[in-house]
Amino acid sequence: MKRYNDAFKDIPGTTVFDATQSRLGYHLNMFCMSLMKAENRAAFKSDERAYLERFPMTAEQRQAVIDRDYNRMISLGGNIYFLAKIGATDGFSFQNLASKMTGMPEDQYKAMMVAGGRPAAGNRSKSDREK
Amino acid sequence: MARITAGVATSHIPAVGAAIDLGKTHEPYWQPVFAGYEFSKRWIAEHRPDVVVLVYNDHASAFSLEVIPTFAIGCAESFAPADEGWGPRPVPVVQGHPELAWHIAQSAILDEFDMTIVNRMDVDHGLTVPLSLMFGQPQAWPCRVIPLAVNVVQYPPPLGHRCWNLGRAIRKAVESFDDDLNVMVWGTGGMSHQLQGPRAGLINRDFDTRFLDGLTRDPEALARLPHLEYVREAGSEGIELVMWLIMRGALAADARETYRFYHVPASNTAVGHIILENPR
């Protein structure tokens, strides 16, 4: 199992949602799940810190949510389909979240997609990228 | 006797659903995407299925991390569109086919596929966007739909080869159902895309083309593609393509390609679509 999971770590800029991430991020992701209800979205928006206290998350996870640092949330066990519910609560599109994670301004990210997207060449493996 | 007549595969991008719901399909950005489905709408109007077994993945809508079924088959009378955070899509409630769904569940379990039986489930864009692409915006969906949800969120998802074999088990099940039904199997998700992390935006046209080619010509070899290759070549969410193999496994070896469409981008994703028909 370790070999299966570790093989993905060679892919740059990518976190596979394996058992380790799932255990780490359980409460963070379940907080995100709660945002599917309108009353919870309202409660979160009115006092983010107080709402986050309802979930037994780590201080780092809470801070990453408040900072809307999606890459950090992913490293702390967040899964993108769950995290997207924070983006929806904020009124942002998936494309906006994606641009944030790549560190590109949204218009630049959009232009990259229209031009055919990020190429696989040079992005397949960490060793490949270092060349 | 029920028979499987055709397979359809298509991406199920949420932004495509939003473009339909908000009346943006004629905007220059979206027009090429929807133009690619014009043939398909005419084709399906002529080949009207009674039932579609619709293979898709739930995106943390019906299933959170509390329960994660690898293969879940919807056996309910109906399935409501899910509220994914901005209200449910304004699309008809999906009418199921409980008799055939239960029949497939039982047959697959006895064939060593341990299906999860679901009697209550809301269905998200993964299921409703393909219906909108193929049928447009009717008052009611023109056929019954059996949702088959596959876990591709929590690793490990099922292997491509397992999906292929599940497709074969579905074919066996359908062909042993007494009613005279025209059944289609749809595979959804893909094609290449990555929604997370600094590598977000990855698109791989060459991989997608090879996948589409292999789906018709050499699906057994395609079914052996390891997960690592999907993620490396088609992006982290490109793993959804394993679901297309369920569709392909349900068809005859000599199914032929009727139509293909490919376009980049829709939002973050490469749009892929194929129609395969069984010989009559």
Whether this model's ipTM surpasses 0.90 comes out as yes
Average pLDDT over residues B143-170: 98
DSSP state letter for A96: H
Residues 6+ apart with CB under 8 A from B8: B40, B44, B130, B134, B184, B185, B186, B187, B247, B273, B274, B275, B276
**Binding-site residues on chain B for chain A (CB distance < 8 A):** 14-15, 59-61, 64-66, 83-86, 153-156, 192, 194-207, 227-228, 231-233, 236, 264-265, 267-268, 270
| Inter-chain touch B201–A118, beta carbons under 8 Å | yes
Q: Are strands B51-56 and B144-150 parallel, antiparallel or unpaired?
A: parallel
B275 beta partners: B8, B259
Residue B270 within a domain: no
- Here the tokens at position A53 are 């206290």
Average pLDDT over residues A68-88: 97
Q: In this predicted structure, what is the pLDDT of residue B9?
A: 98
Residue B268 within a domain: no
Contact A102, B198 (CB under 8 A): yes
Residue B279 within a domain: no
Domain count of chain B?
A: 1
Q: In this predicted structure, what is the pLDDT of residue B280?
A: 85
Q: Is the pLDDT of residue A66 over 80?
A: yes
Average pLDDT over residues B127-141: 98
Contact B276, B251 (CB under 8 A): yes
**Chain A nearest C-alpha distance from B171 (Å):** 31
Indicate which CATH number applies to the domain containing B128: 3.40.830.10
Residue B28 within a domain: yes
| Inter-chain touch B153–A79, beta carbons under 8 Å | yes
Task: Give me the domain span that covers residue B154.
Answer: 3-198+210-263
- How far lies B226's CA from each of A58, B51, B176, B221, B230, in Å? 35, 31, 32, 11, 7
Contact B187, B246 (CB under 8 A): yes
- B217-274 pLDDT, tens digit each: 999 999 999 999 999 999 999 999 999 999 999 999 999 999 999 999 999 999 999 9
Type of residue numbered A81: Y
Residue B259 within a domain: yes
- How far lies B122's CA from each of B86, B110, B126, in Å? 15, 27, 11
- CATH number (1.50.10.10, 1.10.700.10, 1.10.1740.10, 1.10.3720.10) of A2-130 reads 1.10.700.10
Residue in B with minimal Cα distance to A91: B86
Residue B140 within a domain: yes
Residue B253 within a domain: yes
Q: In this predicted structure, what is the pLDDT of residue A129?
A: 59
Average pLDDT over residues B50-77: 97
